[in-house]
């Protein structure tokens, strides 16, 4: 009797959405970042719609298509934005099917090719060589603290910001660093579908540890930054610590955005510095297959995404000389 009651009264789309989010958080089948992004999409684009309040068993393809048409109009959003929203609905309906709440997803086989999308703006994925030089020159004129030094350091290797935050350094072999961990800010999903304040956790670098745990040779400029940090932070467990505390990604990017604004440069996040340095190596003659281990990628296709759509391959060139 309870199962029948739930079927008709306690299984709104919003109810199933909450179950879906909780299930993914408990099983960790996707990253916390993905869950946070999906919650943001739900809150902005689905939570206040008629569809969210409907019993999921009563939702028909026509109801979903009506929402799609509201979203897209006569080209109001890009196809990428649409697919991000659609993927949240896909996940909720798939969860309902797998848990035998409904027998099929009403989103399947909808004629989305009839929708109109806005053309995306060309996205910039890397700083130019000139912008990189401007930033490095400007950062050297500022007070040298952990953040100004960490941003400079990011331009002398192919690191994730979490890897810089979690970096340790053997001064006896000072021109070689081992990327063996990352420091991330994790938050716990709460009952109200919000996340707790972040807490810092040391983990293996992102991706397959066989590839992502790696060594990189630094140019002299990069080594000098580590020496300076050792002077500022002689007893820290991690190299880059600000006022006795590890760095945060938000503050790193906020500082980077501030400095870009002061120089009149289009801001790109810390992650795009990886694109910048990988592309510089490729443009200088390093083959994609030789850049792959520096990025810590397990497959060459991902590396190709970082260096752009280039086809000419030339002889390998030493990384430290190029990024000096």
The number of beta carbons lying within 10 Å of the beta carbon of residue 185 is 16
Report angle CA 12, 16, 22 to the nearest 5 degrees: 150
313 band by pLDDT with thresholds 50, 70 and 90: very low
Domains in the chain, start-ordered, CATH in brackets? Answer: 2-118 (1.10.150.130), 129-322 (1.10.443.10)
**Backbone angles phi and psi of 125, in degrees to 5:** -105, -5
The pLDDT tens digits for 16-27 are: 999 999 999 999
The pLDDT tens digits for 140-152 are: 999 999 999 999 9
Strand 241-242 with 182-186, pairing? unpaired
The residue behind tokens 């991902």 is 302
**3-state SS class at 178:** strand
Plot region of 144 (φ>0 → left; ψ -120 to 50 → alpha; else → beta) = beta
Q: Of 88, 124, 125, 120, give the one whose Cα is nearest residue 107.
A: 88
315 band by pLDDT with thresholds 50, 70 and 90: very low
What are the distances in angstroms from CA 62 to CA 35, 59, 70, 99, 107?
27, 8, 12, 23, 9
The pLDDT tens digits for 240-295 are: 999 999 999 999 999 999 999 999 999 999 999 999 999 999 988 999 999 999 99
| pLDDT over threshold 70, residue 323 | no
The neighbouring-strand residues paired with 182 are: 203
Give the Cα separation of 1 and 9 in Å (integer).
Answer: 12
| pLDDT over threshold 90, residue 58 | yes
Query: Mean of the pLDDT values across residues 296-317?
Result: 67
The number of beta carbons lying within 10 Å of the beta carbon of residue 103 is 8
pLDDT of residue 311: 27
Give the Cα separation of 318 and 310 in Å (integer).
Answer: 19
pLDDT of residue 6: 53
Percent of the chain with pLDDT over 70: 92
Query: Mean of the pLDDT values across residues 69-77?
Result: 96
Residues 6+ apart with CB under 8 A from 189: 21, 22, 25, 35, 195
| pLDDT over threshold 80, residue 204 | yes
Give the dihedral sign, CA 102/103/105/111: negative
| pLDDT over threshold 60, residue 224 | yes
């Amino acid at each position: 009797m309870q199962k029948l009651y739930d079927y008709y009264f306690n299984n709104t789309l919003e109810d199933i959405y909450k179950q879906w989010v909780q299930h993914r958080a408990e099983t960790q089948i996707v990253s916390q970042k993905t869950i946070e992004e999906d919650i943001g999409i739900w809150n902005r684009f689905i939570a206040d719609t008629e569809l969210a309040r409907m019993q999921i068993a009563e939702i028909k393809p026509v109801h979903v298509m009506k929402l799609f048409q509201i979203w897209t109009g006569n080209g109001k959003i890009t196809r990428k934005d649409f697919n991000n929203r659609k993927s949240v609905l896909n996940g909720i309906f798939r969860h309902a099917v797998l848990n035998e709440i409904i027998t099929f997803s009403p989103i399947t086989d909808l004629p989305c090719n009839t929708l109109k999308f806005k053309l995306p703006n060309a996205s910039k994925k890397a700083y130019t060589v000139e912008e990189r030089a401007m930033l490095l020159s400007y950062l050297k004129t500022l007070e040298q603290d952990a953040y100004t030094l960490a941003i400079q350091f990011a331009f002398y290797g192919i690191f994730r910001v979490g890897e810089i935050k979690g970096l340790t350094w053997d001064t006896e072999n000072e021109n070689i660093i081992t990327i063996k961990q990352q420091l991330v800010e994790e938050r716990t999903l709460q009952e109200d579908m919000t996340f707790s304040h972040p807490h810092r956790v040391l983990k293996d670098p992102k991706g397959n540890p066989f590839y992502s745990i790696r060594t990189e040779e630094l140019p002299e400029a990069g080594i000098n930054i580590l020496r300076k940090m050792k002077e500022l932070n002689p007893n820290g467990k991690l190299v880059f610590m600000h006022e006795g505390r590890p760095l945060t990604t938000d503050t790193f990017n906020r500082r980077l955005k501030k400095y870009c604004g002061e120089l009149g440069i289009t801001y790109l996040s810390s992650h795009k510095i990886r694109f910048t340095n990988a592309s510089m190596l490729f443009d200088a003659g390093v083959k994609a297959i030789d850049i792959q281990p520096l990025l810590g990628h397990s497959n060459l296709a991902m590396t190709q995404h970082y260096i752009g759509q280039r086809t000419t391959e030339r002889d390998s060139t030493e990384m430290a000389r190029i990024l000096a």
